[in-house]
């Protein structure tokens, strides 16, 4: 799940933001409209990361799966 979110943040999402900027060339308008989206994505990603870390500790690593999660601020930076 986290890898799909990371893929979307580096793939389709920047393309969508670039297209939006074509229709909204004013940076102030862009910032007003995209700020809630950026913060929601970063918040959701941070919550998932925290949940996975807690679940991983509860179950123990067992040496089977390693999950690398970006920090929420990194996600917000990718949306810009």
Per-residue pLDDT, 64: 43
DSSP 12: H
> Which domain range does residue 40 map to?
2-79
pLDDT in tens, 19-74: 888 888 888 988 898 889 888 888 888 888 888 887 766 666 554 444 555 555 55
| pTM for the structure as a whole | 0.51
pLDDT in tens, 42-53: 888 888 888 888
DSSP 65: -
Per-residue pLDDT, 63: 45
* Token couple for 18: 């670039």
State how many domains the chain has.
Answer: 1
Query: Exposed e or buried b for every residue in 17-36, given b needs 16+ CB within 10 A?
Result: beeeeeeeeeeeebeeebee
């Amino acid at each position: 799940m986290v890898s799909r979110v990371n893929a979307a943040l580096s793939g389709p999402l920047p393309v969508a933001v670039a297209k939006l900027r074509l229709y909204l060339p004013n940076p102030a308008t862009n910032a007003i409209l995209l700020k809630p989206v950026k913060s929601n994505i970063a918040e959701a990603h941070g919550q998932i990361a925290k949940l996975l870390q807690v679940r991983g500790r509860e179950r123990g690593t067992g040496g089977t799966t390693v999950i690398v999660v970006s920090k929420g601020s990194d996600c917000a930076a990718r949306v810009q």
